[in-house]
Chain A
Amino acid sequence: MLRTKEGARVIGEMAANCKPQVVACYPITPTTHLTEELNKYYTDGKIPEYITVEAEFSAISALIGASAAGSRTFTTTGGQGLLYMHEPLFSAAGMRLPIVMLVGNRAVSSPLNIWNDEQDSISQRDTGWIQIYCKNNQEAVDTIPQAFYVAEKILLPVMVCVDGHYLTHAVEQVDVADESVVAKFLPEYKYPLKLDPQNPVSLGVYANPTHYQIFRQDLVSDMEAAKELLIEAGKKWGELTGREYGLIREYKTKDAKRIIVGLGSVMDNVITVVDELRAQGEKVGALHLRVYRPFPHEELRKALAGKQIGVIDRDISIGGSAPVYVEVSEALSGTKGTKVSSFYGGLGGRGIKRNHIKEMFEKLKKGPVKEWIAKEAPKAAMSG
């Protein structure tokens, strides 16, 4: 059904259509409106249990318990809230609990900033959660049921990442699949080993040096196996709604000489610039990296080998190279004639505009660079 609604609220509608049994949230900008929306569905009786908690650590911990008891679970956070969940995020993945979380990507302190970048979720990449980055609200809404589908088959938690404000607060027209469509797509959830007093077990307890690595190896190979399931979910969703999804989305890459790769909402800007430059006869393209964990090495090699690549990171690794750039480079290493450049910035709500992207495409003509997007000298007022 077509809706013209704010991003966070329309995501709430879809989350409720997926029939989570337990939701636990602690509101934080930029997904406060999503917590409000979920609460409204609880009040209306559509979500059976909504736990109001005192912080994000508690929100994810409550869901670890609820998920282990066999419930379908959903939550949302972003920025500092996601960082506060850091430790239980590892536990949720290690215990193989298929929790789905909507992350409203937000900058991290300090300085305090509520606007968008992706430092929060990129810094959680090694926790064992599947990470999907959406470039608009239609993708966000379509990705929620796919996240449950994959999570509950492979028993891994999923973060659905949407850019705070740019998407969470954007009002645009979105087609929301209704309950009956979701019901056709998403089978009823049955956790194979739930907490049950009749058959007591402890989950995620202590493993000796002789066993610990075996569990981690299993987690790594199942994360790799999740690729097939993500593709399967994207195809099935396409059959039902006409909107198919994969691990990556290519835009005019086939004959392109220069391609910009990135996560999230900035990629719709890149696509606009690709059209503008194509109109002037330039062979450029865009590649939206939709799934960041598991990382689609093979798909990237196929799409990008031999070309001039620019990777946008709206996250940084202080003292190292930009994380998405590093992994794209690794995926393309050994391919003939490929050159990879790194453009990082757009932090804390600093927009990456069309002229910035045009400059990036221009720089790709010459050769690999590693540089800030829209770098500016500190203003006098900022220093002590």
Chain B
Amino acid sequence: MIIPHAKPGSSTENLTGEWKAYMPVVTGDKCIKCGICQNFCPEGIMGEVKKIPEIDYEYCKGCSICANECPVKCIAMERVEED
């Protein structure tokens, strides 16, 4: 018997990146650390501004906004292979 419930703050335990079909991959040496991708990311999971983005794939939904906004096109969207 399971009662479906969530305690406050449990969104940090529940991973939500599972549904993405494409994942952003950053080519570090092209990155100019402008911070645009980090500011545009709806999930806020691309790390700190003024650093090369560090993506938390456990929450990334694969929306492609970062790749679309990147002024130097250093983010590629790659197909996630399923089992």
Contacts and interface: CB of A to CB of B under 8 A. Distances in A.
A96 B18 contact: no
A192 B4 CA distance: 12
Contacts of B3: 95-96, 155, 192-193, 203
Interface of B: 1-8, 14-16, 18-19
Contacts of B14: 208
Given A208-B14, A208-B18, A209-B18, A201 B5 contact: yes
Looking at B4, B14, B16, B19, the one whose CB has the most chain A CB atoms below 10 A away is B4
A208 B5 contact: no
B6 A201 contact: yes
B5 A203 contact: yes
Among the interface residues B1, B8, B19, which one has the most CB atoms of the partner chain A within 10 A?
Answer: B1
Contacts, number: 44
A198 to B, nearest CB: 12
Contact of B4 (A154, A200, A205, A210): A205
Interface string A80-114: 00000000000000111000000000000000000
A374 interface: no
29 contacts: A94-B4, A95-B3, A95-B4, A96-B1, A96-B3, A96-B4, A155-B3, A192-B3, A193-B3, A193-B5, A200-B7, A200-B8, A201-B5, A201-B6, A201-B7, A202-B5, A202-B6, A203-B3, A203-B4, A203-B5, A205-B5, A205-B6, A207-B4, A208-B14, A208-B15, A208-B19, A209-B18, A214-B2, A215-B4
B9 to A, nearest CB: 10
Contacts of A208: 14-16, 18-19
Contacts of A201: 5-8
Given A208-B16, A208-B18, A218 B6 contact: no
Interface residues of A, number: 21
Contacts of A192: 3
B1 A154 contact: yes
B18 to A, nearest CB: 6
Interface of A: 94-96, 154-155, 192-193, 200-205, 207-210, 214-215, 218, 222
Contacts of A193: 3, 5
A215 B2 contact: yes
Contacts of A218: 1-2
| Residue in B5, B7, B18 whose Cβ sees the most chain A Cβ within 10 Å | B5
B1 A204 contact: no
Contacts of B16: 208
Nearest to A193: B3
A65 to B, nearest CB: 14
Contacts of B15: 208
Given A202-B5, A208-B18, 19 more contacts: A94-B4, A95-B3, A96-B2, A96-B3, A154-B1, A192-B3, A193-B3, A201-B6, A201-B8, A203-B3, A203-B4, A203-B5, A204-B5, A205-B6, A207-B4, A208-B15, A208-B16, A208-B19, A222-B1
A201 B10 CA distance: 10
